[in-house]
Amino acid sequence: MGASRYVFDASADNFRALVLENSDKGPVLVNYWSPRAGPCLMLMPRLVRLATEFGGRFLLVMLNTDELGPLAREHGVTSIPTIKMFRRGQAVDSLHGAESETVLREFIARHLAREAESKYTAAILAYQNGDLDRAVAQAAEAALAEPDNPDLAIDLVKMLVLQRRYAQADDLLKSLPDSIRELPELRHLSAHVSLIRSAQDAPASEALIKTIDAEPDNLEARYRLSAVLITRDDYEAAMEQLLEIVRRDSGPRHQAGRDALLAIFTLLGEDDERVHRYRVLLNKALH
């Protein structure tokens, strides 16, 4: 059709590959239509808009029943327009008539949510069986199927961290929509991953301390020192460096220091005396 890269025209030759085989990879929506039927022409642009909006989370295939009548009848289509959702080689749901965009959106979203749930369940089972590679792959597919669900993104980041795939976790966090990335738990995870990555290639703590003694406003050195200290479980010294960053900066490093402190608070738990003490100090520094 050319209207969207997620929309295709069915033929007798390509139907198996286009619909049945692709439905093993993800949802495929088939629109059974005729150019002679007015309701079909009303429905088609709605479906194309949704296929484009959902950005490849499902494929839309147009099947012209004037040209492929036997194939449509084989699938039980007796009236047009009809749409069918295919998954794993089978039609799993149908709608009949030129439904509104709201009804179509709900129909598609329901199947995508089921898709995400199925992949998420597979990820949890793989994780429980110790297959972290498969768990991460399935969780990633679940997150792609339902990108606005923050719980899926959170769990995927945690799985990547468990596998020490810190760069991938960082890339994933940066790719999330702002509305999700600003959620407290994801901000804490982001700060945690950032600290780990900073510690990986940081100079020795002795060298960082010398730098800070010579340049007290070197906030990068303070941040990297805090990361190194965390890897040694010296949380109090790490929090002291992060608190100093908050005190000395009002820009991006201020936010990074604050987020890292909050991440440590979450890690240690509210019952930890150090958390109580440094939360009071943080509040004073902020006000």
Q: What is the pLDDT of residues 78-96, one digit of tens each?
A: 999 999 999 989 999 999 9
Two tokens, residue 58: 């499902």
pLDDT at 82: 96
Q: Distance between CA atoms of 132 and 136, rounded to whole angstroms? A: 6
Element (H, E) at 90: strand 90-96
Q: Which residues contact 121 (CB under 8 A, 6 or more apart)?
A: none
Two tokens, residue 100: 């509104």
| pTM for this prediction | 0.55
Q: Residue ranges of the alpha helices (H) in the chain?
A: 15, 38-53, 69-74, 101-128, 132-145, 150-162, 166-175, 178-181, 184-200, 205-214, 219-231, 235-248, 252-268, 273-286
pLDDT-flagged residues of the chain (< 70)? 1-3
Q: Distance between CA atoms of 15 and 183, rounded to whole angstroms? A: 43
Two tokens, residue 192: 């945690």
In order of their start, the domains of the chain are 7-99 (3.40.30.10), 111-175 (1.25.40.10), 199-286 (1.25.40)
pLDDT at 2: 46
Burial grade of 217 (CB within 10 A; 0-12, 13-18, 19 or more): exposed
